[in-house]
Chain A
Amino acid sequence: MTQTQTPPGAVTFDSSEPSATRRVVTSTAFMIAIVVTVLILLFGVLSPNGVFLSAGNFRNLALDSAQLILLAVGMTFLVGAGELDLSIGANVILSSVVAAKVITFVGGTPEEILAGDYSNAATAILLGFLAAVVTGVLFGIVNAALVNMLRVSSFIVTLAMMSAGSGIAYIVTGGINVSSLPREMQKGFGSADLFGIIPIPAVIAVVIGLVAWFAMTKLRFGVHTLGMGSSLRAAERAGINIRRQRVKLFVIMGGIAGLVGFIDISRFLTTNIQGHQGDALAAIAAVVIGGTSLFGGRASILGSMIAAIIPAILINGLVIMRVGSFYQLVVTGVILLIAVGIDQRRRAQSK
């Protein structure tokens, strides 16, 4: 800082944060990135013929983690704002069910659909995509409206909505998955690659993640979100419309859940109403491992994105090593505990 223009006795302020390198190196996102790198190298060494490190396997990893990355990005905003959404798994299911119903309804005659041969595939898929996102957004709006109107914590509201949402999905389908969806959506989207190697869902996840990172760090939206998570009262007194902010946050989460629902049916060409039970908790785990405070006020989009890759790496690596993939759940739990423990200790020291 230059002292030339400062009159004697005047006070100067340091506007500098810790140096950029120091901030990056001490950030949780960076530490999680190291953990991820170590895991990749470990499985690379341990896997037969280093098959884990092949380009094809990286493609699988990217594809398998795309959905969790997306959900974790949306969840980062909510957790950063001191909110939670436990209903995203139900939202994913319901959105995919509505999309699948729209696609089969628009796509062609029952015989064509049974054969997986849609006469009207393009329109059907497009409408299905819109239906998924709209359903997801509406789901989010209902969540936010209930939190705002009932003045109940989002934990309780979304717990209830988790039950109600999957119940509706069961009612709509009669408990039978909608299958035989058009193969075009798999070839053209769900399992399609950019430049022949990068899965489209992963590209979408990264693009949305970067947009979210920008919004979190450079726009009012981000700092208002963190302000809300840090002190609801302070944010309110500062003139932030916290009810509207809450609606925006749940709409983003809901829209992302709808998108994930569409990606899901595009990959597997069937709905999965029995699945996605663990989606919400997996996303919250990734968010917390990535350095976002579960109590709000502090959030890292990049940390969440990196942490969301861990389950896919573990499943994939353990399968390649012929160890049961169920161990993945145990290891993810252990990583969650270690990450939170280290984080707490660092925070206690810095005070």
Chain B
Amino acid sequence: MAEAPIIELTNIVKSFGPVSVLKGVNLRAYPGKVTALVGDNGAGKSTLIKGLAGVQPYDSGEVRFAGEAVHLHSPREASRLGIEVVYQDLALCDNLDIVQNMFLGREELGFGTFDEGLMEREAAETLRQLSVRTVSSVRQKVSSLSGGQRQTVAIARSVLKKAKVVVLDEPTAALGVAQTEQVLELVGRLAEQGVAVILISHNLADVFAVADYISVLYLGQMVASVKAEDTNRDDIVGYITGSKTYNGVQA
């Protein structure tokens, strides 16, 4: 392994009352690489991600960020480190425009009032770096955007402040074929910029299209972490459903 992981979870445990959801999970994500996190419903993907976002802290286990042990106990802490999550239901404000959405909660001020010019330039620059071509004006209201464009804005929002780790929760779930294609391209470009992308998806075609690594959660345990090029669809389906066991070295 040439590069050190930017984020490394070791032996993560989380339970809700008597129900233990994560039973000692390990996960790594590398800068510039897409790590797909797959698993059936109830496998613990969301719980793992919520801990990473600082929304629901883990019960125990070690989180290393760029080699340093950290505690992710609040969303603010996670975003201070540069960990951003793009949720499945996007969480954009329909009535606000693209710039307002990208800067919501962290507006640039000059003399106490908005620095609209700066925000517009930064928003446009971020979209340009992601080679987004589908929106015409950064002052468009989000309500006028398509599903793919919204996903684009949500992703752009996550990298606006130089995020190091971006978690995408089912980014293509609600999209048509062409828009899925666009978003997957965007995921690739995100990684090209050195961001560690963690992609949660049920769609294995999407996963194999963009992922460098694939980690499979099964009933709260990470049953396989493999390089995408060293595996195939049937094996992954086997790991997800528990009908196959991975015997190789965890990548």
Binding site for B on A (CB under 8 A): 10-17, 218-220, 223-224, 226-227, 229-231, 233-235, 237-240, 293, 296-298, 350-351
Contact with A along B123-166 (1 / 0, CB 8 A): 11001100111011111000110000000000000000000000
Chain B, interface size: which category? 35 or more
B113 proximal to A (CB < 8 A): yes
Q: A219-B112, A233-B91 are in contact. Are A15 and B137 (CB under 8 A)?
A: yes
B107 contacts A220, C-beta separation under 8 Å? yes
Contacts of A226 in B (CB 8 A): 93, 95-96
Q: A219-B113, A240-B105, A351-B143 are in contact. Are A11 and B132 (CB under 8 A)?
A: yes
Which residue, A220, A229, A351, has most C-beta atoms of chain B within 10 A?
A: A220
B96 contacts A293, C-beta separation under 8 Å? no
B104 contacts A235, C-beta separation under 8 Å? yes
A11 contacts B127, C-beta separation under 8 Å? yes
Q: A219-B114, A351-B144 are in contact. Are A237 and B91 (CB under 8 A)?
A: yes
Contacts of B128 in A (CB 8 A): 10-13
Contacts of A296 in B (CB 8 A): 95
B95 contacts A234, C-beta separation under 8 Å? no
Complex Cα spacing A240 to B104, Å: 8
Q: A11-B131, A12-B124, A239-B76 are in contact. List 5 more A-B contacts (CB 8 A).
A: A13-B135, A15-B124, A16-B139, A234-B91, A235-B93
Complex Cα spacing A229 to B100, Å: 14
A234 contacts B93, C-beta separation under 8 Å? yes
Which residue, A13, A14, A230, A237, has most C-beta atoms of chain B within 10 A?
A: A13
Contacts of A12 in B (CB 8 A): 124, 128
B174 proximal to A (CB < 8 A): no
Q: A14-B137, A14-B138 are in contact. Are A223 and B107 (CB under 8 A)?
A: yes
Contacts of A240 in B (CB 8 A): 104-105
B138 contacts A13, C-beta separation under 8 Å? yes
Expressed in whole angstroms, the minimum distance between the Cβ of A148 and any Cβ of chain B is: 19
